[in-house]
Amino acid sequence: MKLTHPERVVDAASGATKADVARYYDGVADWLLAELKSRPVALLRAPEGVGEGGFFQKHAGKAAWPGLRLLDAALWPGHDALLALPTRTALLGAVQMNTLEFHAWNARVPRLDKPDRMVFDLDPGDGVDWAAIRDGAVRVRDLLGELGLRSWLKTSGGRGLHVVVPLAARWPVDTVRAFSQAVVQRLAGREPERFVAKSGADNRVGRIFVDYLRNGEGATTVAAYSLRARPGLGVSMPLAWEDLAALESPTHWTVTNALQHLAGRPADPWAELGAHKQSLAAPLKALPSL
Partner DNA sequence: GTCACTG
Partner DNA sequence: CAGTGACAACGCGGG
Partner DNA sequence: CCCGCG
Binding region for DNA (CB under 7 A) out of 75-83, 131-139, 142-150, 223-231? 75-83
Residue 79 found at the interface with DNA (CB under 7 A):
yes
Smallest separation, CB 253 to DNA (Å) = 20
Residue 211 found at the interface with DNA (CB under 7 A):
yes
Using the Cα atoms of residue 184, residue 128, residue 252 and residue 53 in order, give the sign of their dihedral. positive
19-25 long-range Cβ contacts below 8 angstroms, 24+ apart: 20/255, 21/95, 21/100, 21/227, 21/233, 21/255, 22/92, 22/95, 22/96, 23/259, 24/227, 24/255, 24/258, 24/259, 25/91, 25/92, 25/95, 25/227
Q: From the DSSP assignment, how many helices (H) and strands (E) are in the chain?
A: 6, 14
Residue 8 found at the interface with DNA (CB under 7 A):
yes
DSSP helix/strand/coil, 69 = strand
Residue 8 CA, chain-centre distance (Å), reads 27
Among 75, 97, 138, 240, binds DNA (CB under 7 A): 97
Among 15, 30, 56, 257, binds DNA (CB under 7 A): 56
Residue 59 found at the interface with DNA (CB under 7 A):
yes
Q: Looking at beta carbons only, is 17 or 221 nearer to Mn ion?
A: 221
Binding region for DNA (CB under 7 A) out of 1-9, 226-234, 254-262, 269-277? 1-9
Cα–Cα dist 14/6, whole Å: 15
Between 19 and 48, how does the x/- string for binding to DNA read (CB under 7 A)? -----------------------x--x-x-
Smallest separation, CB 251 to DNA (Å) = 17
* Chosen from Mn ion, DNA, none, partner binding at 160 (C-beta under 5 to 8 Å by type): Mn ion
Contact 222, 194 (CB under 8 A): no
Q: Looking at beta carbons only, is 52 or 248 nearer to DNA?
A: 52
